Chain A
């Protein structure tokens, strides 16, 4: 597609349930990033992929969070046993390469609400 696509755009779930958030990056982009944006706060880095490998998982808040990427394309962020503090907008971004000078292209995010 033309841009980074994320689904679902909105997800309401009950505490304790598992959720999966999907990101479809721009075709050909090898780097993919996940960020979290809590209400009124800045973006919090979660994880990034270079190809299918994840060199940096340091931002994942707990072992309830995991992410995978297959075929240098789609990525899935999974949150198990959701808690209310997981409520946030989860943003995905992609980039043609992993450099510190390049632009990240963001999706519109998946808004997660945990009741």
Chain B
């Protein structure tokens, strides 16, 4: 079946530091890949997505590239802010139409 493995947290960074959260997946066929974010006190919301190999999703300074050869979709941001403190979830959607989520990575950015 489909599954997602993402880097365990928590991750604590200083403002303006570089952030990487690793995500790898197992799936049959051609899944779509997503990063969702959950800010404190809010519901999950889509951060970015990529629907085919070599696509790059980007939003709010975050980027992730769909790498079929390494079955990865790592999330990166070059310079984080305090407002980026949140829980980040990598997710996959296959032909069964349901999102399979990773365990989530808690990121805390200190001023």
Contacts and interface: CB of A to CB of B under 8 A. Distances in A.
Interface of A: 3-4, 31, 33, 35, 41-43, 45, 48, 56, 59, 91, 93, 98-101, 103-109
Interface in B59-107: 89, 93-104
Contacts of B34: 103
- Taking residues whose C-beta sits less than 8 angstroms from the other chain, chain B's interface range is 20 to 34
B51 interface: yes
Nearest to B46: A103
Given A41-B103, A42-B102, A48-B98, A91 B32 contact: no
Contact of A108 (B42, B89, B93, B97): B42
Given A45-B98, A101-B49, A101-B93, 9 more contacts: A33-B99, A42-B4, A42-B89, A42-B104, A43-B44, A99-B97, A100-B31, A101-B32, A104-B46
B97 A109 contact: no
Contacts of B36: 106
Interface in B20-46: 31-32, 34, 36, 42-46
Interface of B: 4, 31-32, 34, 36, 42-46, 49, 51, 89, 93-104
B93 A100 contact: yes
Given A42-B104, A43-B89, A56-B98, A108 B43 contact: yes
Contacts of B96: 56
A107 B4 CA distance: 22
17 contacts: A33-B99, A41-B103, A41-B104, A42-B4, A42-B104, A98-B97, A99-B97, A100-B32, A100-B93, A100-B94, A101-B32, A101-B51, A101-B93, A104-B44, A106-B36, A106-B45, A107-B43
